[in-house]
Amino acid sequence: MARTSKLSITNQNCIRILSFDPGMNNTGWAISNYNIVTKVFDVLKYGTIKASKMAEKQKELTNRHGKQIVAINILKQEITKLVIDSVPDYVASEDSFYNPKTPNAYRSLLLCLFSIDNILFNMYYYKEECNLNETASKLHKISPKTIKMVMSGTGNSFKVDMLEALKKQYSEKAITFSQYPNVPFEDFQNTLTEHSIDAVSCGFSFAKSIYPQLIV
């Protein structure tokens, strides 16, 4: 698992996971290490990409090509940077889900997921930007219900429940944040958005529910 990225792994018992909460307006992301021996999930970095808002600042391009195509291009650029920076072993994302009340949101989810898939495909098969690990060439999509179940024990959790579930996992030291060692969760809670919380939850769910199936 040798790396040349800024976020290098020094413990060979760890795997690197890049995880996402997809969306065109807000894409949550998290870069984490999962120790396969201690079972501790350590979050290294996290954030939220606001592609649509960033596109609004590029008025000339949006006037010429439309806001959506500009936002997709920005999203792909930002995700590419994350992949290069983290050099992940695995990439995971919350899967799309259809709500008949918000059909446009479903379309945005599909566009975001396709963009991530396309980036990983090109990076691995065409060696674009960096030499991606083969295991990271596939995007692992995890249903929202599975993520909620792994984090909170129930598949019907709401946003506030996910925050409380993350607090609980942190208090039990199943999840740690390397930027805030031994710091009360409340002291850095405001640095997390609902989207980065979902991205962390997605990565944790991958480590606990998907990764064990891949190494059987």
**32: in domain:** yes
The pTM (predicted TM-score) of the whole model is 0.92
**56: in domain:** yes
Task: Look at residue 211 and tell me whether its pLDDT is greater than 90.
Answer: yes
- Residue 88: per-residue pLDDT: 96
**Burial grade of 22 (CB within 10 A; 0-12, 13-18, 19 or more):** buried
**198: in domain:** yes
**78: in domain:** yes
Q: Which amino acid is at 137?
A: S
Q: Is 154 left (phi over 0), alpha (psi -120 to 50) or beta?
A: beta
**68: in domain:** yes
Mean pLDDT of 75-95: 96
Q: Domain with 149 in it: what CATH number?
A: 3.30.420.10
Q: How many domains does the chain have?
A: 1
Q: Please, which pLDDT band fits residue 9 given cuts at 50, 70 and 90?
A: low
**23: in domain:** yes
**80: in domain:** yes
- Residue 134: per-residue pLDDT: 93
Share of the chain residues as helix, strand and coil, in percent rounded to the nearest 5:
50, 20, 30
Strands of the chain (E only): list them.
14-21, 27-35, 41-49, 90-94, 139-142, 175-177
Give the domain range for residue 208.
14-214
Task: Look at residue 4 and tell me whether its pLDDT is greater than 70.
Answer: no
Give CA angle at 89 (88, 91), nearest 5°. 70
**5: in domain:** no
pLDDT one-digit tens code per residue, 98-109:
777 777 788 889
Task: Look at residue 142 and tell me whether its pLDDT is greater than 90.
Answer: yes
Of 96-100, 113-117, 188-192, the least confident? 96-100
